[in-house]
């Protein structure tokens, strides 16, 4: 059904003459000079595929969508097995009001949307390691909240792979911290005295450090890695399957931090998925909102908010969105809107939606909901879906305080909360390097 490319190449966004295979892009994480990898061609999926979407399973849809990007580098059975393991939970679109639904992405093992990307990447990397020519690999990753837990869970016990996770001290929720600091085995957590941008800068610096490269084979599991970024397109195919009977035009509002999720959705549209518009919903870290207003891209240090997974002052994946539109502002602005909201507005939205629709949003979903409502003010002829990217329980204190009620805690979270935290505290790059050089 889908068009298959035998060998997709990945280019560096800093040097399009630099081309590598899918395996190389996954293993390296970043191209030389800290550049991101990007597929050389965007495949068009066939009309048959979209016409038959309603009859296909999640795994079949995902296989057709991702196959052109993997090519023959993972055999059909191997790829199907990775997808089966990665997608073993549901992705329901839950109606909120007449013109609004929410795509719940928190039904995976760590209750966050990042379970899909982390699980898929772990499967791919595990497959490549088993081929026997890579040796031992260290996955080095920075997290602003949910990435750490998802990566830790996805890679737990994968043979031949060590995982080192950097997270900002005091800037992730207690549940998020427990999910990434209590697993042990091949997972190490480093608690950084700083913010997420400091963590991400340290990770990028380590990748370009020749001394570390001689000691360890590093790769990243942040959404900058193509194996983390690409499978996020699955959400939009799964949602569209559930929305095909809607007569209105479709718009998706995506709570956006590092912009990998929304970029994958826009990639799916380029492949033929009939989505009309996207909304990048920001908290007060609003560099893209400001860009779409001024055409000037000016990163600034991140500020801490209650939607902490979006506390990113310089979103890495936005350069991929620009590439999708050949770095041309006008066509991009016709498909992407962006709005930003304060913590006070976010809390108010959580309270209002609970009272009016009896639905409990997490702070990130609330920002997505707000973006949708603002978009509707001038575009009433759309059906809107906002993404609930994490279970409200992961932001227990904030949500319970706002709605004035207890949130039911899933069993998996109760188990994690009873485990002992194990993390090493570091303050600067030299301390990270010293750890990696052991």
Residue 252 shares a structural domain with residue 353: yes
Do 211 and 237 reside in the same domain of the chain?
A: no
Q: Is 114 a catalytic residue?
A: yes
pLDDT at 134 over 90: no
Q: Does one domain contain both 320 and 391? A: yes
Is 90 exceeded by the pLDDT of residue 268? yes
The tokens of 432 are what? Answer: 């990270």
CA–CA dist 344, 364 (Å, integer): 13
pLDDT of residue 86: 96
Looking at the structure, do residues 185 and 203 belong to the same domain, yes or no?
yes
Which of 431, 435, 31 is closest to 225 using CA atoms?
Answer: 31
Position 368 scores a pLDDT of 98
Contact 129, 161 (CB under 8 A): yes
Q: CA nearest 397: which of 109, 176, 111, 183?
A: 176
Q: How far apart are CA 275 and CA 103, in angstroms?
A: 14
In a domain, 84, yes or no: no
Average of per-residue pLDDT across 50-64: 96
Residue 13 in any domain: the answer is: no
* β pairing state of 161-168 and 137-142: parallel
For residues 265 and 365, membership in a common domain is answered with yes
- Residues 67-81, mean pLDDT to the nearest whole number: 96
Interstrand relation of 100-104 and 382-388 (parallel, antiparallel or unpaired)? parallel
Which domain range does residue 338 map to? Answer: 90-110+229-403
Assess whether pLDDT exceeds 80 at residue 4: no
Q: Where are the alpha helices (DSSP H) in 245-403?
A: 260-270, 287-294, 318-324, 329-335, 343-357, 363-378, 396-403
Residue 127 belongs to some domain of the structure = no
Same-domain status, 149 and 174? yes
Q: With 50 as the cut, is the pLDDT of residue 2 above it? A: no
CB 337 within 8 A of CB 280: yes
Closest CA to 33 of 218, 217, 205: 205
> 388, 111 in Cβ contact below 8 A?
no
Query: What is the strand order of the sheet 249-255 is part of?
Result: 93-97, 100-104, 382-388, 249-255, 277-282, 336-340
Q: Does residue 76 form part of some domain? A: no
Calculate mean pLDDT across residues 236-245: 95
From 16, 41, 76, 114, active-site residue: 114
151 plus 238 within the same structural domain = no
The Cα–Cα gap between 289 and 312 comes to: 13
- pLDDT score of 145: 73
Domain check: are 198 and 316 in the same one? no
pTM above 0.85, yes or no: yes
Statement: residue 3 has pLDDT above 60: no
Cα angle 172, 174, 175; round to 5:
100
Residues 233, 298 within the same domain: yes
339 inside domain: yes
288 shares a domain with 174: no
Residue-level pLDDT at 6: 58
Q: Answer whether residue 261 is part of any domain.
A: yes
Residue tagged 């040097």 (tokens): 15
- Please indicate, yes or no, if residue 101 is contained in any of the structural domains: yes
Q: Give the pLDDT confidence score for residue 415 in this predicted structure.
A: 85
Please name the residue that has the structure tokens 């093992």: 109
For residue 92, what are the contacts with CB-CB under 8 A and spacing of at least 6? 103, 104, 107, 242
Per-residue pLDDT at 344: 97
Mean pLDDT for 70-80 is 95
Co-location of 244 and 388 in the same domain: yes
H helices of 182-245, where?
196-207, 210-215, 226-229, 234-243
Highest mean pLDDT among 137-146, 220-229, 245-254: 245-254
Under 8 Å CB-to-CB from 17, ≥6 apart: which residues? Answer: none
Q: How far apart are CA 120 and CA 404, in angstroms?
A: 38
CB 163 within 8 A of CB 221: yes
Average pLDDT value for the chain: 93
| Torsion angle of C-alpha atoms 362, 278, 95, 45, degrees rounded to 10 | -120
**Structural domain tally of the chain?**
2
pLDDT in the model for residue 1: 47
Percent pLDDT > 70 in the chain is 98
Structure tokens at 115: 């379970």
CA distance 270 to 41: 11
Sign of CA dihedral 153, 157, 161, 166: positive
| Cβ-based neighbours of 375, under 8 Å, separated by 6 or more | 251, 253, 277, 279, 337, 339, 382, 384
**Cα–Cα dist 267/223, whole Å:** 14
3-state class of 22 per DSSP? helix
Report the CATH number that the domain containing residue 145 is assigned in CATH.
Answer: 3.40.50.1100
Long-range interactions of 347-353: CB distance < 8 A, separation 24+ = 347/306, 347/398, 347/402, 350/399, 350/402, 350/403, 351/402, 351/403, 353/96
Both 280 and 357 in a single domain? yes
Specify if 60 maps to a domain: no
């Amino acid at each position: 059904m889908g068009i298959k490319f035998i060998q997709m190449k990945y280019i560096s966004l800093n040097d399009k003459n630099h081309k590598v295979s899918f395996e190389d892009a996954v293993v390296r994480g970043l191209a030389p000079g800290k550049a991101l990898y990007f597929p050389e061609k965007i495949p068009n999926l066939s009309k048959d595929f979209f016409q038959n979407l309603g009859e296909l399973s999640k795994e079949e849809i995902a296989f057709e969508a991702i196959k052109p990007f993997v090519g023959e580098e993972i055999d059909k059975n191997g790829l199907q097995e990775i997808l089966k393991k990665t997608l073993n939970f549901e992705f329901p679109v839950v109606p909120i009001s007449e013109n609004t639904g929410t795509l719940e992405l928190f039904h995976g093992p760590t209750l966050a949307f990042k379970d899909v990307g982390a699980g898929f990447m772990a499967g791919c990397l595990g497959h490549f390691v088993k081929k026997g020519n890579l040796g031992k690999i260290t996955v080095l990753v920075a997290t602003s909240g949910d990435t750490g837990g998802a990566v830790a869970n996805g890679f737990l016990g994968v043979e031949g792979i060590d995982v080192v996770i950097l997270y900002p001290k005091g800037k992730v929720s207690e549940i998020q911290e427990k999910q990434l600091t209590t697993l042990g085995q091949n997972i190490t957590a480093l608690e950084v005295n700083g913010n997420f941008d400091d963590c991400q800068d340290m990770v990028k610096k380590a990748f370009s450090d020749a001394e570390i490269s001689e000691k360890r084979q590093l790769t990243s599991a942040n959404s900058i890695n193509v194996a983390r970024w690409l499978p996020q397109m699955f959400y939009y195919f799964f949602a569209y399957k559930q929305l095909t009977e809607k007569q209105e035009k479709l718009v998706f509002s995506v709570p956006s931090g590092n912009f990998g999720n929304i970029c994958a959705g826009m990639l799916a549209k380029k492949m033929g998925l009939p989505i009309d518009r996207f909304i990048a919903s920001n908290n007060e870290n609003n560099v893209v909102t400001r860009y779409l207003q001024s055409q000037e891209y000016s990163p600034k240090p991140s500020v801490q908010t209650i939607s902490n997974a979006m506390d990113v002052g310089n979103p890495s994946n936005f350069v991929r969105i620009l590439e999708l539109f050949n770095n041309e502002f006008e066509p991009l602005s016709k498909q992407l809107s962006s709005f930003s909201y304060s913590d006070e507005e976010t809390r108010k939205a959580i309270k209002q939606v609970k009272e009016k629709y009896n639905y409990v949003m997490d702070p990130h979903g609330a920002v997505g909901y707000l973006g949708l409502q603002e978009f509707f003010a001038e575009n009433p002829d759309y059906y809107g879906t906002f993404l609930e990217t994490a279970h409200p329980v992961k932001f227990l204190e904030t949500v319970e305080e706002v709605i004035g009620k207890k949130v039911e805690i899933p069993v998996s979270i109760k188990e994690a909360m009873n485990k002992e935290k194990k993390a090493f505290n570091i303050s600067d790059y030299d301390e990270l390097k010293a750890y990696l050089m052991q």
